[in-house]
Amino acid sequence: ELPTDDVTEDLIEDGHCEEILKKPCPAQYTGIKEEELVIWVDPLDGTKEYTEGLLDHVTVLIGIAYGGKAIAGVINQPYYNYEAGANAVLGRTIWGVLGMGAFGFQLTEAPAGKHIVVTTRSHSSALVNECIAALNPDHVIRVGGAGNKIIQLIEGKASAYVFASPGCKKWDTCAPEAILHAVGGKITDIRGNSFQYNKEVKHMNSAGVLATLRNYDYYASRIPNTVKESLVP
């Protein structure tokens, strides 16, 4: 825990974003009590990439769940644009709420007819690679961070995020799930089960991750049974 007297005033943000306050809260969420919410936070998603200087992979994730379901999320990219030169505006914040939409980026679909899979960069395994091979992708992108992988989907750089491994946690998927679902995408485990985000749930997403902005059924139907049987929820 940081000693509070060492935190300078300019590091403390106590204001509100006027742009967000202008938007009406979806009716189904106006009566929620604070104690009914569960917040899943990953202060540094893409840790290994951060240590290697791959700063564009790094995100800060804040997911908000209600009734076990991801309903709102924030993906902050603190180093966005870091390679664009000294005068570039550094960082951006992508956020979304179910029933409202998602903001802070340009929603783009992956090229039609192309099967581009984004997967792990630093947690690969035989099972991960077997699953990807079964999808017969045109191209595979390997990047760090769950938040970063969802960004690849919503900005049209990839058509499916596939991770056939138990390494991912609820704080990795809650915020990205809310944003992806807010724009009509879908995320489940490799077996097709929805993630639950109530506070009693186990932290590990033991059966991996399958996510798409569009055409979820196409990819889900091509996951081999041998892969599904190897990953127990």
Domain spans in the chain, listed from the N-terminal domain onward: 1-232
- What pLDDT does residue 67 have? 97
Taking each helix axis from N to C end, the angle separating 170-182 and 146-154, rounded to the nearest 10 degrees, works out to 10
Mean pLDDT of 155-171: 96
Which amino acid type is present at position 17?
Answer: C
45 annotated among ligand-binding-site residues: yes
How far CA 103 is from CA of 3, 25, 39, 147, 209, in Å, comes to 35, 14, 20, 15, 23
pLDDT at 40 over 70: yes
Mean pLDDT of 184-192: 98
* pLDDT digit string, tens, across residues 9-39: 887 888 888 888 899 999 999 999 999 999 9
Mean pLDDT of 48-63: 95
Which amino acid type is present at position 103?
Answer: F
44 annotated among ligand-binding-site residues: yes
Residues, the chain, total?
233
Mean pLDDT of 35-48: 96
- What pLDDT does residue 7 have? 79
Q: How many helices and strands (H and E) does the chain possess? A: 7, 10
pLDDT at 86 over 90: no
Provide the b/e sequence for 119-137 (b: ≥16 CB within 10 Å): bbbbeeeebbeebbeebeb
Q: What is the CA radius of gyration of the chain?
A: 18
Pairing between β-strand 209-212 and β-strand 160-163 as defined by DSSP bridges: antiparallel
pLDDT at 198 over 60: yes
Q: How confident is the model at residue 5 (pLDDT cuts 50, 70, 90)?
A: confident
- pTM above the 0.85 mark? yes
- What pLDDT does residue 2 have? 57
Task: Round to whole Å and give the CA distance between 125 and 104.
Answer: 34
172 annotated among ligand-binding-site residues: yes
CA–CA–CA angle 171, 219, 147 (5° rounding): 25
Do residues 24 and 30 touch, judged by C-beta distance below 8 A? no
* pLDDT digit string, tens, across residues 94-121: 999 999 999 999 999 999 999 999 999 9
Q: Is 1-232 assigned to CATH 3.90.79.10?
A: no
pLDDT at 178 over 80: yes
pLDDT at 132 over 80: yes
6 annotated among ligand-binding-site residues: no
Task: Round to whole Å and give the CA distance between 83 and 229.
Answer: 42
**Can you name the residues that pair with 118 across neighbouring β-strands?**
141, 161
Mean pLDDT of 206-214: 97
pLDDT at 4 over 80: no
- What pLDDT does residue 124 have? 83
- What pLDDT does residue 3 have? 67
- What pLDDT does residue 61 have? 98
Q: How confident is the prediction for the chain on average, in pLDDT?
A: 94
Q: How confident is the model at residue 228 (pLDDT cuts 50, 70, 90)?
A: very high
Q: How confident is the model at residue 215 (pLDDT cuts 50, 70, 90)?
A: very high
